[in-house]
Amino acid sequence: MSLIHGSRGLIYFVHEWQPRFNESALLDDPEMLAAVSRLNHQIHRLAPVLNSPSLPHLARVTTEPADVPVAFAVKQHGDATYLFAVAMRDRPVQARFTLEPATPARPVEVPGEDCSIPVVDGTFTDTFHGWDVHLYRLPPP
């Protein structure tokens, strides 16, 4: 969420107070440390894209149900255009993205999820669970 909304850095809260105080709890928990390490590697790989200007005019999103918003940021780096999206509630939602200008009927790649999504009439749809994040690589216009 933070990166989609424009953050230029991250700070992890690593402390724990219960059942005992531990000021480096996140780092002492192998499962959490592995998850944060994977996230940091992904952010590092995507840093050139994340640090590029946002291009909000290249997409729109509508959701069902409408009271569960999906925030997104469109970024371009080199010849690749990415759409980062996050469900903003702890509820499932279906998001319909409309690309501007309408792209050819080539699928949207979903890096890290080993799949692609068809684009029909310049739109594609995906399902999000609560707080889910998805990354899409858009077909060239």
CB of 96 closer than 8 Å to CB of 115: no
β-pair type (93-99, 123-128): antiparallel
Closest CA to 117 of 79, 77, 85: 85
What pLDDT sits at residue 8?
86
On average, the pLDDT of the chain sits at: 93
Q: What is the pLDDT of residues 63-104, one digit of tens each?
A: 999 999 999 999 999 989 999 999 999 999 999 999 987 766
Is the pLDDT at 141 greater than 70, yes or no? no
Average pLDDT in the 48-77 region?
96
Can you give the pLDDT at residue 115? 93
Strand order across the beta sheet in which 123-128 lies: 59-64, 93-99, 123-128
Residue extents of the structural domains in the chain: 56-138
* pLDDT the model gives residue 106: 85
User: What's the whole-model pTM score?
Assistant: 0.89
The Cα 86–Cα 92 span in angstroms is: 11
Q: Tell me the CATH architecture of domain 56-138.
A: Sandwich (2.60)
